Structures are given as C-alpha cells and as structure tokens.
Amino acid sequence: MTLSFYKYQGTGNDFVMIDDRLERFDLDDLSTVSKICDRKFGVGSDGLILIRNHPEYDFEMIYYNADGSQSMCGNGARCAVAFSHLLGIIGLETSFLAIDGGHKAKIVDGKVELLMGEISKPKEVEGDVFINTGSPHHLRKVEQIRDYPVVEEGSRIRYSERYPEGTNVNFVEAIDENEIFVRTYERGVENETLSCGTGVTAAALAFGTKNPNQTVAIKTLGGDLAVRYSLNEDHEFEDVWLIGPAEKVFEGTLELNEESVAEQSH
C-alpha cells in the first residue's frame, strides 16, 4: 500500500505530513509511526502529522512524536497550517483542532502565526520553572548555552520522578531585554531538537521580557521564532502567538505493509 507524504520543517523541527482526509491511516499503529520517523529505516523526522476533516473546524491535526506518543506540537501545528494551505483546504486564515483544543492561525508575509491554547501559570521548581503550553515544559536559565550538556541534563530531568509522564526540557540564555536563545530536549523524540514551538513559547513567557504586550525574539539552533503575548489585569497570559517559518522540503511516497493501513471497510 503506498501513501503520499510531504516533509516539512519549522526552524529545523521536522515532520512527515500526510493528507489523511480519507482516514486510511491506522491511528493505533504506533510501530508504523516510529518506523516512518526513523532516520535510518524510514523517512526520518521528529514527528508525524495527519490532516483529517472535522465537522466544526477547517481540519484536525493529529500529531505523533517519533516514538508514537502524542502531545500538542507548536512547530508541527504551524507546518500543518502551511500544508493545509498547500492542499487548498484553507486560505490565509484558519481555525483547526489539535489535541489541546481549537486554534486560530494565519499566514502573514510567508510566516505562520499560531494562537496558542490554554497555558498554565508558571510554577517554580527547585530554582527552575514549569509551564504547560499545550505540552509540558521544564525551563532553566543558563549561561554559555552553546556549551550546555542539553541531552545529558535534559534526559535526567525528563526521566526524573518529578515527571511521571515525562516533560520537555528547555535551557534558556538571555541575549538582551527582549531576545533569548533556547535549546530543547524533547520528550518523545528523546533527543535535542533544533527547535521546539511549545518550548520557545514557554521560555518567552517564563524568561522572555519584562515588558508585557511585547514580542520576544527567540533564537534556536534551527532558526528564529517570535512569541507575542499580552497580560490581562490579573497578570495572566493572553493572546499568545507563536510566529515563524514553516517550509515544505520534499514530497514522496511511503510503502506501507497492509496491516499499517486501516481496512477500507472500517
């Protein structure tokens, strides 16, 4: 059975995208998800994204990390918007469904702006910070970030008893008043990724700026992102937008053995 796919990347966080509006992909077949994401035996990516129809939204995005686990993915959502535009499902604005609920997004000057969903209040954790921006993030302020042992320290925190479900771990260095550099160890990829959308959003909110209603510039190993947000009178985050590029890299076809694709009769 062959399935066509597209490869997208958003500041180096890369995804296999499948137009699954015919609902042929078996959502429970996690071994096929990991095979597709495998960088030696498959296409290779940080995650896999299915686009499906939805009665109340322009589309639904179903995201899997490379290990088959599921969560909200900010960069993946931005790539899903660009992909849905390419497929002609949407124009330049959309309202779509992800695992953490509905999101608005728009394509402006070739970048995708994503309105983030519910965000938890920052919690202090032994000198670090924890925020859930649709996926869980442990954040630590560091110096000389380029030399920081991201995988060693990131995996230690990710697998610590504090996080029975695991967490993503971000290391953040302040560049100036409104600019930070972020490196991320990602749960479900179990490695450092070149950028993490929900992670840089958490970093911007935790350490990004002293001036609310500002845009925080974020540098990552994979490229530049921005987060714009405002604070309401209770000092809660509101209108949090994640902004950045989402590029199509190539397209191809996947050879899937029969059991990887749900029978037509389902």
Ligand X SMILES: N[C@H](CCC[C@H](N)C(=O)O)C(=O)O
Residues that bind ligand X (CB under 6 A): 13, 46, 65, 69, 71, 73-76, 135, 168, 186-189, 196-198
User: Whole-number minimum distance, CB 119 to ligand X, in Å?
Assistant: 13
* Sign of the alpha-carbon dihedral angle for 127, 224, 239, 213: positive
Q: Is 196 a catalytic residue?
A: yes
227 versus 256: smaller Cβ distance to ligand X: 227
140 versus 187: smaller Cβ distance to ligand X: 187
- Beta-carbon-side half-sphere exposure of residue 186 (alpha carbons within 13 Å): 31
User: Whole-number minimum distance, CB 84 to ligand X, in Å?
Assistant: 17
155 versus 168: smaller Cβ distance to ligand X: 168
Q: Pseudo-torsion of CA 31, 36, 41, 45, nearest 10°?
A: -120
Taking a C-beta distance cutoff of 8 angstroms, is the pair 66, 47 a contact?
yes
Distances (CA, A) of 223 to 217, 242, 257: 11, 14, 36
168 versus 260: smaller Cβ distance to ligand X: 168
Catalytic residue among 194, 196, 240, 243: 196
Cα separation of 10 and 111, whole Å? 10
Q: Is 37 a catalytic residue?
A: no
User: Whole-number minimum distance, CB 10 to ligand X, in Å?
Assistant: 7
Annotated binding residues for substrate, written as ranges, equal: 13, 65, 74-75, 168, 186-187, 197-198
Neighbours of 178 (CB within 10 A): 17
The 10 Å CB-count burial string (b at 16+, else e) for 128-137 is: bbbbbbbbbb
Annotated binding residues, written as ranges, equal: 13, 65, 74-75, 168, 186-187, 197-198
User: Whole-number minimum distance, CB 208 to ligand X, in Å?
Assistant: 16
Active site residues: 73, 196
